[in-house]
Amino acid sequence: MRNKSNKKVGWLCTYTPEEIIHAAGFTPVRLLPGSGAFTEGSEDLLPPNICPYPRRILSTLRSGILQNMEGVVVANSCNAMLHLYNVLRTAGDFFVYLLDVPRKLNDQAVDYFTGELIRLADYLGGRGQPVTAETLASSLSLYRERAKYLQKLTDLQCYDLLLSAFPSGYHELAVEASGLSPEIFTAKLKRLVEKYSSGCRTQQDNRSLILFAGGLISDSLSRMLDGRRELIVYPENCSGMRYLLKKTPFVNPDRPATAGELYRAISRACLEKPPCPRIFNTSTREKYFRNLLDTMPVKGVIYHDLIFCDLCHYDYLLLQDLLAGTGIPLLKVKTELGEEDSGQLQTRVEAFLEIVSQEEQ
Amino acid sequence: MSIKAQFNERLKNELGRKLLSSPVTYRLAREIFVRKGNFAFEAKKKMTAMALEQAAEAYQKKRPVAWTSAFFPTEMLYFFDLIPFAPEVAAGTSAALELSPRLIRHAESMGLSADSCSFHRCAAAGTDLDYFPHPDFLMASAHLCDGAPHLFQYMARRSRKPLYLLDVPAGDDDRALHYVADQLAEIASDLEKKRGIKLTDDRIAAVFEASNRARHFRIEVENLRTEVPAPLNGTEGLAYIYLTLLGQGHPETAAIYETLTGELKEVVKKNRVETVKMDHERYRLIWLHLRPYYSSDLISYLENELKMVIAAEEMNLVHWPPLDPEKPFISLARRVILHPGLGPIERRLKFIIKNYHRYRAHGVIHFSHWGCRQSVGSILFLKKELQKRNIPFLAVDGDCIDGTSFPWGQVLTRIDSFYEIMEELYA
Ligand code: SF4
Ligand code: SF4
């Protein structure tokens, strides 16, 4: 099935299943903070001591910048998102749906989330096209195809190939992937990978890697690390790898699955994606970080402790503990997702990279 | 120097940590403050004694200690003879004892963002500095805020003790109910093994009986507090939050509320026969969220100077049906998911409006604790919705623990303007 609709449905949190939005006949588009000092128009709805991500999205939606937005699916991923849901309903002429996302990863959580996904599909189906086992399977196949190419491009050995098309690296790849219809984006990736498959190294890439961890980042923060081909910048955040490495369930064409089976598979895949700091199981995020540190040539870590994100604030303590005694330098940066402090920040980031490169010599 | 001031002074030096971690201190404090202190109500005296005894028991480690976050159903602890200790409550106490500035500074040196809730910053620092009785278990709920469960993950890493996390969804339907109930059942089954205690029907019945009896008297207290003039003001009422956080399922909680019921009945009776009874009550308020725990004139200025009396506090109100010992986990899960602060804001709004009318209030004040996303995130929405219904609303920006960052002068001006609005509306 090809989704020709240009009716868009916005989403924010990477625990949101794009496949279901797509199967209901909409183009899922992630609402990201972008850049610029744009929180105007949100002051009367959200107070300034709430995470800037929802505040920025609220301004953007309210100002009508995003055209053809039929609605927004807000995942209940944190307090800030719930508050966004509360006020977004009063902010424009589009529907707003609250998707409850568990914080645990066990079978009960998968069950609970499966029920939530069925409710979401019913709701969206009523506004777009009914979601059936067939439409869902076909959307899943499309996303699986996209995941196949994303996997190729997220292989560290293909970093140069990635940069040839996405100069800002993984961040740019994730922004584009989440903003375009899977049909268009997969076609672009396919052309790139097939044409330049020789752009990948056959041997281990021994460039240093900077792990960019923590809260999602703005385009301007990402740009600070642009153009450094001597480094691999690995944004583990949700505007980077935690989105790009999300799995899509496999649909066996020889044995058509029931809708119930598909919802359950999507539920599991969403909850088992690379974990965000909101996840509850103490060891999940710890194991994930350990794995990144053990399997990649991490030479330095920059942690984005996004202002007013409690989840980041505690996640930072975890990473700090894990890095203690490893000799890997750690830099904490705090932003409001805008251009505000970019001058000073740039200086700190450069000084840090300097230290990293000196330690290597 | 008063005894309290001398006591506080002692705690600030290096001896402070040792003093705080000694059960003797709490028994001594009980002697000094409870026996000799002036309490307007016997119930409050009993509650203070209970709190000091619980702290002493925790430090003495008479039985295993469980650290809990706000709103985790404490019946689960009493089922297994665990002594509760709430680091968030300890943070409040640290502010009252003037220890919080030191803890806040320490939290910053640990790398914890100054943007996070100061209750949690103090609790994290208290853990790091070994101020608290060592836990055997940790239990945290995602009831209201994002911070608490993650703070508890940090504490569990430090103490290397088992952590039970309760994931609370935003919904309040049957699926949400069972999701929470299943988690509670799982926690109980693990505690049975670890404590070697079988959770028998008798145990459940005893704890639920205490919990339901407390609920019964709490509702009596609520009904008495709807009387005009208010028989219990906010200065007193706000203290009882301790019982919501640590006392549910403890027999003494029921006894305290029973005592309070009797005392308030007397006050109401006396108020009815007095002639000039409105002297101390010009306007009645509903109080949202908590209060400053350091020494502050905020509440006394409202109640004693302006005669704007807090008739009820959001955090003290009963929102759940009686617990059913036949269905222990479903019952507790129901209380969890019915919390008015959970899920879409309409639930909290409805709860506020209902109680505004029930208590014949004239206005609503929200104490906006800086680091609390959960409560602060909705104030602009609440303000609009309450104003639509002609309900005067004031959000007082402040911090429950850190008194340094919020100038009293500004708060005063805002309160005075709010008072003027009330005068225009009602005088
Ligand atoms: S950055 Fe943190 S607070 Fe902000 S929306 Fe994401 S999880 Fe929530
Ligand atoms: S004040 Fe708010 S953020 Fe702090 S513990 Fe309470 S609910 Fe959580």
Report the range out of B206-215, B276-285, B370-379 with the highest average pLDDT.
B206-215
CA distance readout (Å), A255 to A134, A139, A204, A267, B234: 12, 16, 39, 20, 65
β-strand partners of A234: A211
Long-range CB pairs of A59-66, under 8 A, 24+ apart, other chains included:
A60/A31, A60/A34, A61/A10, A61/A31, A61/A88, A61/A91, A61/A92, A61/A94, A62/A91, A62/A92, A64/A92, A66/A8, A66/A10, A66/A29, A66/A31
Please write the tens of the pLDDT for every residue from B144-193.
Answer: 899 999 999 999 999 999 999 999 999 999 999 999 999 999 999 999 99
Q: How far apart are CA B12 and CA B2, in angstroms?
A: 16
Taking all residues of chain A, what is their mean pLDDT, rounded to a whole number? 91
Read off φ and ψ for residue B237, nearest 5 degrees. -60, -40
Helix axes B201-225, B251-273, angle to 10 degrees: 20
Is the Cβ of B146 closer than 8 Å to some Cβ of chain A?
yes
Report CA(A48)–ligand 2 centroid distance (Å): 17
How far A76 CA sits from the closest chain B CA (Å)? 7
Is the Cβ of A340 closer than 8 Å to some Cβ of chain B?
no
Candidate from B150, B370, B380 with C-beta closest to A311: B150
Is the Cβ of B174 closer than 8 Å to some Cβ of chain A?
no
pLDDT at A2: 45
Please write the tens of the pLDDT for every residue from B127-150.
Answer: 999 999 999 999 999 988 999 999
Q: How far apart are CA A311 and CA B152, in angstroms?
A: 12
| Torsion, Cα of B267, B268, B272, B273 (10° steps) | -30
**Contact B376/A334, CB-based, under 8 Å?**
no
- Which of B167, B147, B143, B145 is closest to B155 using CA atoms? B147
pLDDT at B6: 60
Report CA(B109)–ligand 1 centroid distance (Å): 24
**Nearest ligand 2 atom to alpha carbon B143:** 7
Q: Which of chain B's residues have a Cβ under 8 Å away from the Cβ of A42?
A: none
pLDDT at B7: 59
- Span A265-287, mean pLDDT? 93
**Contact A277/B150, CB-based, under 8 Å?**
yes
* B 95-114 near A (Cβ less than 8 A): 110-113
Q: How far apart are CA B380 and CA B395, in angstroms?
A: 9
Residues 6+ positions from B38 with CB-CB distance below 8 Å:
none
Task: Give percent of chain B with pLDDT exceeding 70.
Answer: 94
Q: By three-state DSSP, how is residue A243 classified? A: helix
**Contact B157/A318, CB-based, under 8 Å?**
yes
Q: In this structure, what token pair is assigned to residue B187?
A: 């926690």
Taking all residues of chain B, what is their mean pLDDT, rounded to a whole number? 93
The answer, yes or no, to whether residue B107 has pLDDT greater than 60, is yes
Q: Choose the residue to mutate in A78, A236, A305 for probing ligand 1, maximizing ligand atoms within 8 Å of C-beta.
A: A78
Is the Cβ of B145 closer than 8 Å to some Cβ of chain A?
yes
Q: How far apart are CA A234 and CA A231, in angstroms?
A: 9
pLDDT at A1: 46
Q: How far apart are CA A48 and CA B154, in angstroms?
A: 27
- Which of B248, B238, B247, B374 is closest to B312 using CA atoms? B238
pLDDT at B23: 75
- Span A68-74, mean pLDDT? 93
Q: Which of chain A's residues have a Cβ under 8 Å away from the Cβ of B171?
A: 100
Which H helix or E strand runs over A71?
Answer: strand A69-75
Does the C-beta of A85 come closer than 6 Å to ligand 1? Answer: no
Band of residue B405 on the pLDDT scale cut at 50, 70, 90: confident
Candidate from A46, A102, A104 with C-beta closest to B380: A46
Q: Which of chain A's residues have a Cβ under 8 Å away from the Cβ of B113?
A: 305, 312-313, 316, 334
Report the range out of A29-43, A249-263, A298-312 with the highest average pLDDT.
A298-312
* A 221-280 near B (Cβ less than 8 A): 277-278, 280
Q: Which of A223-232, B22-31, B69-78, B106-115 has the lowest mean pLDDT?
A: B22-31
Give the up-direction half-sphere exposure of residue B112: CA atoms within 13 A in the CB hemisphere: 27
Q: Are A121 and A96 in contact (CB under 8 A)?
A: no
Task: Give percent of chain B with pLDDT exceeding 90.
Answer: 84
Please write the tens of the pLDDT for every residue from B261-289.
Answer: 999 999 999 998 876 556 789 999 999 99
More confident residue, B112 or A342: B112
- Give ∠ CA B124-B129-B134 in degrees, rounded to 5: 80
Please tell me the pTM assigned to this model.
Answer: 0.94
Report CA(B146)–ligand 2 centroid distance (Å): 8
The answer, yes or no, to whether residue A36 has pLDDT greater than 80, is no
Does the C-beta of A80 come closer than 6 Å to ligand 1? Answer: yes
How far A282 CA sits from the closest chain B CA (Å)? 6
Which H helix or E strand runs over A257?
Answer: none
Q: By three-state DSSP, how is residue A8 classified? A: strand
Q: Which of chain B's residues have a Cβ under 8 Å away from the Cβ of A277?
A: 150
- Span A313-342, mean pLDDT? 92
pLDDT at B2: 57
Interface probe, candidates A313, A315, A322, chain B, greatest B C-beta count within 10 A: A313
As for the ipTM of the complex, it is 0.94
b/e map B263-291, b = 16+ CB within 10 Å: bbeebbeebeeeeeeeeebbbbbbbbbbb
**Contact B169/A76, CB-based, under 8 Å?**
yes
The answer, yes or no, to whether residue B401 has pLDDT greater than 80, is yes
pLDDT at A196: 78
* A 277-306 near B (Cβ less than 8 A): 277-278, 280-282, 305
Q: Which of chain A's residues have a Cβ under 8 Å away from the Cβ of B368?
A: 47
Q: Choose the residue to mutate in B115, B145, B146 for probing ligand 2, maximizing ligand atoms within 8 Å of C-beta.
A: B145
3-state SS string for chain B = CCHHHHHHHHHHCCHHHHHHCCHHHHHHHHHHHHHHCCCCCHHHHHHHHHHHHHHHHHHHCCCCEEEECCCCCCHHHHHCCCEEECHHHHHHHHHHCCCHHHHHHHHHHCCCCCCCCHHHHHHHHHHHCCCCCCCCEEEEECCCCCHHHHHHHHHHHHHCCCEEEECCCCCCCHHHHHHHHHHHHHHHHHHHHHHCCCCCHHHHHHHHHHHHHHHHHHHHHHHHHCCCCCCCCHHHHHHHHHHHHHCCCCHHHHHHHHHHHHHHHHHHHHHHHCCCCCCCCCEEEEEECCCCCCCCCHHHHHHHHCCEEEEEEHHHCCCCCCCCCCCHHHHHHHHHHCCCCCCCCHHHHHHHHHHHHHCCCCEEEEEEECCCHHHHCCHHHHHHHHHHCCCCEEEEEECCCCCCCCCHHHHHHHHHHHHHHHHHHHC
Q: Whose CA is nearest to atom 2 of ligand 2?
A: B372
